Amino acid sequence: MMSAAEKHPARYNDWLGVVQFLITVFVIAIFVITFVVQAFQIPSESMENTLLIGDYLLVDKLRFGGDDFWRHVMPYQPVRRGDIIVFHYPVHPGEHFVKRVVGVPGDRLRLINRELYVNGVAQREPYVRYSATAHDAFRDDFPRLNIVVPGLEGTWWEQMKKLVEDGQLIVPEDHYFVLGDNRDESLDSRYWGFVPRENIVGRPLVIYWSVRNDDLDISEERTSGEKLFHFAHALTHLFQITRWDRTFRIVH
């Protein structure tokens, strides 16, 4: 008895070609997601106005070399001051944070009345936003070793004491100091410490979609019914809720 492939060779070859194509696309997609880019959603206001809640990013995972294998086979860029990075939060590595690097290994940092100084030189930071009117001695005049504030990690508090010299914080080897652009509303290195080199995932490359946050609020605090309602609303009002002026914007 003849098999299906023998009876209909053209049809069989067509289906085989489709299956091969789908497998190829799947393998490429897995490769890209694993090694090249990763999707990331902005969860907080800490990087406003550079990045907003509701921005959806593609993160370039090869920019800084990725893992040890890729660092040896592909050219990569060192992490520099001013780079925005996505990284595993050192306190809870399962979480991803996005901040701006302001200090690289060997730098001496301090904030004086909100103004950032690196190696004694005041920095020009046109992207920084200040939202608070009241002065906060720990946040605005960092580092301060005589003040303990809510949210300050105890291990970082002890480590910081060993790294402050002449009122400046010294960034150790293979570590980076990061701050949010929304300087008054950011849980950053001031409160939990440095970002180790191995924690860095990559840099935001492009905002591929941006949506007004209130229109796509399906957070864990909402009930299943509320999540479904907001998701359905988003799908039926996609054009209206999209921030088109931010969509496909390159991140700087």
Least confident window among 34-38, 46-50, 176-180, 195-199: 34-38
Please tell me the distance from the alpha carbon of residue 170 to that of residue 235, in angstroms, as a whole number: 49
**3 state DSSP class of 218:** coil
Does 125 or 35 have the greater pLDDT score?
Answer: 125
Q: In Å, how far are 30, 39, 61 from 74, measured between CA atoms?
A: 19, 22, 12
Confidence at residue 80, expressed as pLDDT on a 0 to 100 scale? 96
Instruction: Look at strands 115-118 and 108-112 and give their pairing.
Output: antiparallel
Please tell me the distance from the alpha carbon of residue 153 to that of residue 191, in angstroms, as a whole number: 6
Q: Which of 63, 62, 64, 40 is CA-nearest to residue 53? A: 40
For the chain, the average pLDDT equals: 83
Domain boundaries, the chain: 34-250
Kindly list the catalytic residues: 46, 99
The reply to whether CATH 2.10.109.10 applies to domain 34-250 is yes
Q: Which of 240, 250, 180 is CA-nearest to residue 211? A: 240
| Structure-block tokens of residue 28 | 């490429």
Q: Which of 207, 238, 231, 232 is CA-nearest to residue 217? A: 231
pLDDT tens track for 172-222: 999 999 999 999 999 999 999 999 999 999 999 999 999 986 555 544 555
Please tell me the distance from the alpha carbon of residue 20 to that of residue 34, in angstroms, as a whole number: 21
Please tell me the distance from the alpha carbon of residue 54 to that of residue 23, in angstroms, as a whole number: 33
Please tell me the distance from the alpha carbon of residue 190 to that of residue 50, in angstroms, as a whole number: 20
Please tell me the distance from the alpha carbon of residue 139 to that of residue 117, in angstroms, as a whole number: 14
**Phi-psi label, residue 12: left if phi above 0, alpha if psi -120 to 50, beta otherwise:** alpha
Please tell me the distance from the alpha carbon of residue 57 to that of residue 203, in angstroms, as a whole number: 10
Instruction: Say if pTM beats, i.e. exceeds, 0.85.
Output: no
| pLDDT band, residue 45 (cuts 50/70/90) | very high
